[in-house]
Structure formats: C-alpha cells, structure tokens
Amino acid sequence: MEKLISYPLSFLYYLTFLFWLVVFHPIQWICFNIFGYNAHRWSVAILNWFLVRTTHILGTRYQFIGKENIPQNVPVVFVANHQSLYDIPPFIWFMRSNHPKFISKIELGKGIPSVSYNLRHGGSALINRKDPKQSLTEIKKVAEYINTNNYSVVIFPEGTRSKTGVPKPFSINGLKMLHKFAPDAYFVPISIHNSWKMTKFGQFPLGLGNKLVFEIHSALKVSDYTFEELFEKTEKSVTENLKK
C-alpha cells in the first residue's frame, strides 16, 4: 500500500525538488558574482531549507540529537555514515552556522542545476576517485581552507552509500589528510539513522513517513590524538550508535 500511495507523491516531490533547483541556480549566480561569499552561502542555505521542507510531501521528519556537541567558531570535520542523498540538505540547512563544505565525487560538479554550481564555487572538494593524487590534493585544499576560515567540511568515509543502513568500513586516506592539514579542527562523528529508507524501493517511488535522525556525538580535538586513535574513536562513535 505504501508503495502504491507513494507513486503520485513521489512524482509531486520530484517536480517540486527540480523546481527549486532551477529557481535557485540563477539566484546563486547573482549572489556569488555580485554580492560575494556570504550572499552565496545564504542562497544555498535557503535553497536547502526548501529542499528539506519539500520532503514533507513524503511525510519525512527530522530530528537532530546533540547539536550542543558541535563546536562553534573553530574548524569542524563532520564524519558521518552515508545512506542516501537525503543526508545532504539537512547538513547544509541545520549546520549552516558552521559553513559546511563537502567532499564530493567530481561527476557531480557539472550538469545538475544549483547543486553543481555550489560544489564548484562554494568551497567544496571535487575528487576523481580514479585519480588518487588529484583526490588527495583536493582534500588537502579543503582541509587548509576550513582550518584558515573556521568553516566545516562533511565527509562520508564509507565512500559509497549504504542501501540497507548497515555501515561499510571507513576509508582512511581522506580522514588522514583532514587530520594532517586541519590541525586546529575538531572531528564530530554523526550517526545518520533511517535515511536509507527513503530509497528502499529505489529512486522511484520513494519511501513514506520516515523520521531521519542525526545523532551528533562528542567532538574530538584533532591535536589531542594521533590519527590512528582519532580514526578508531570516530568510526566507533558513528557505527556503534546506528540503530539496527
């Protein structure tokens, strides 16, 4: 029954979702090219407010637990499990005070209204997974960028999304570069629950009535740990708290 009901709702959702991406693309361009970084940042945040609210068509709800654990006015590395693209708009809107950037695959840097423009111009890292040297260079740049400006970066170290909610082993290299080149940062582990249920039927139709929970764990100061210690504590915090 859920799947049957979801067909018209998913169609309406995707239509509205695309509408916001198209509308905000020229708004982003104007903000970035005429008014600068902060105007562009806010245009992206407001776009993602609309994208988050658009998921209410599907009955989606959101809960953030532990926002008090996020340090302010310091560089932050958000380390989270990855279950679907619906992980991303909540980060941009609800973590907007931390200026979140993303480590994203290079293919997303073109062809998608609003999304590609923000990835290219908003300070994120676009990495080519087939070119390790290019990938590590881009991650180094974003690490230095957030360290200098007290911004944040979101990394999903599983690499690819988990379609069942069961986390995959974390990759080391990206986190190691962030540890090395953002020495003033704090790692903030986050466990994302139930996002995978949005696409349990695939990309169409979408799952209905899901509550996406972002569980934010205690921050870990990079300078207080060796990389090996930090990696172990971060992965353990994210994965052990995932609801089965």
- Read off the pLDDT of residues 35-86 as tens digits, 9 standing for 90 and up: 999 999 999 999 999 999 999 999 999 999 999 999 999 999 999 999 899 9
Mean pLDDT of 105-129: 92
Q: 135's torsion region: left (phi>0), alpha (psi -120 to 50) or beta?
A: alpha
Q: Are 109 and 120 in contact (CB under 8 A)?
A: yes
**Which amino acid would we find at residue 125?**
A
pLDDT for 243 equals: 57
pLDDT at position 215 over 90? yes
- Residue 1 neighbours by CB under 8 Å, 6+ apart: none
Average pLDDT in the 130-155 region?
A: 93
Rounded CA-CA distance 155/244 in Å is 22
pLDDT one-digit tens code per residue, 145-185: 999 999 999 999 986 666 766 788 888 899 999 999 999 99
Domains of the chain, CATH where assigned: 2-240 (3.40.1130)
Q: What is the pLDDT of residue 24?
A: 97
